[in-house]
Structure 1
């Protein structure tokens, strides 16, 4: 890894906003969800939350580019599950929803821990979740159309959130907890080793924060080989022989 690449990774991690998140309510078009992930990365979010459509989903990685690697996506079985978890973390919920109580998206405070809820392309945010939201926000329309594409709307809202947080100095120092910072630094610096460990349920080896390289790559691999050699093989087990 080049020093320039490592410096870029650290710069991005140092400006990530762990308490600003997006939650999507069954957004069903792959390109829209992929574009939302890309926007999350661009505006400094570390996490987004997703409730998949009932028919399932496969994101277009071409649209999201490399953003899949840089934004942690948390999946939830239901919106109620996601809302409960985020509220337990102290998040205010801002639902992008046209309603009688909706306010201009620039009027809410994004410097507090908060989650922006984006509804699906047909029905928007479901009524139960909309009722649970602390605020409803809208982007004023000056033309003939009544609304924007969900990914475009998300990008505009995140731009305002970024603006407010920059003015508040929230990008000037690292806000991510050390444990999460160290985990992501390893994952971003050593993606191949990360996949190897994840596939085999192995703990991540330590890396040198000054170089991004494994501290003792050869020694670690030797230990891994010993562990694998000592694991019982399926054909080493005694056969179950039925008694006559």
Structure 2
């Protein structure tokens, strides 16, 4: 999973407030290898909802922002092209975009759509062609359709065949996902993670601990 993560592909939820939509979007992001997504809302309780929705998967990091402007400024600073899914007159077919470039996709709620601030900050406005009476797809469905076009292009370009995460992040996430309870204890005590062997196993200096809910600790970590 970590070897397929795409740190230069992300998504921004602009006032997507329904927990079931948040959860479905996060699952789609995980499926295409997105490592981090962003969210902002004017509703005071949305941060609790987004945190709860993020709990449906522990594989995708959700960064919450107080404003869409601050969130997009940070993303632009990483050199990402910003795409806004909208029905504006400037939109283009979502399949015409080059998703092998560092890319962040903005999605808004079905009723309000993407905010004016986000539209103004976007490099491209995109839309999904439809031929029925319905004017828009559910936001989580739209996210999946667009993200899997990005996955298709990136697969064709070989971007999933080589690790793209920096080694430090890769090693940290590998340890936290393989040994979540031990990782939590070490973080709480401010201690470094032991280096895993080539098979992802703890080194021989690690032993079982009498502490509850642990999977073993290292004698040289100060916990044994």
TM-score w.r.t. the length of structure 2 is: 0.87
Name the count of aligned residue pairs.
Answer: 212
**Separation in 2, partners of 1:49, 1:64:** 11
Q: Secondary structure at the match of 1:69?
A: coil
Residue aligning to 1:20: 9
Residue aligning to 1:153: 142
Match of 1:93 among 77, 82, 93: 82
In the TM superposition, residue 214 of structure 1 has moved relative to its aligned partner by: 2.8
Residue aligning to 1:220: 218
By percentage of residues, which structure has more helix? 1
**Separation in 1, partners of 2:10, 2:197:** 27
Residue aligning to 2:191: 203
**Separation in 2, partners of 1:163, 1:225:** 46
Residue aligning to 1:131: 120
Alpha-carbon spacing, 1:209–1:146, altered in 2? closer, same or farther (3 Å): farther
Q: Secondary structure at the match of 1:70?
A: coil
Q: Secondary structure at the match of 2:38?
A: strand
Preserved CA contact (<8 Å) 1:26 1:50: yes
Q: What is the RMSD of the two structures over their aligned residues, measured on CA atoms? A: 2.1
**Separation in 1, partners of 2:60, 2:161:** 20
Residue aligning to 2:99: 110
Preserved CA contact (<8 Å) 1:34 1:60: no
**Separation in 2, partners of 1:118, 1:203:** 39
Residue aligning to 1:32: 21
Preserved CA contact (<8 Å) 1:27 1:53: no
Preserved CA contact (<8 Å) 1:28 1:53: no
In the TM superposition, residue 212 of structure 1 has moved relative to its aligned partner by: 2.6
1:77-92 correspondence runs (5 A): 77-92=66-81
**Separation in 2, partners of 1:65, 1:160:** 26
Alpha-carbon spacing, 1:223–1:170, altered in 2? closer, same or farther (3 Å): closer
**Separation in 1, partners of 2:23, 2:219:** 35
**Separation in 2, partners of 1:36, 1:73:** 11
Can you give the 5+ residue segments of structure 2 that lack an aligned partner in the other structure?
A: 208-216
Can you give the 5+ residue segments of structure 1 that lack an aligned partner in the other structure?
A: 1-11, 227-244
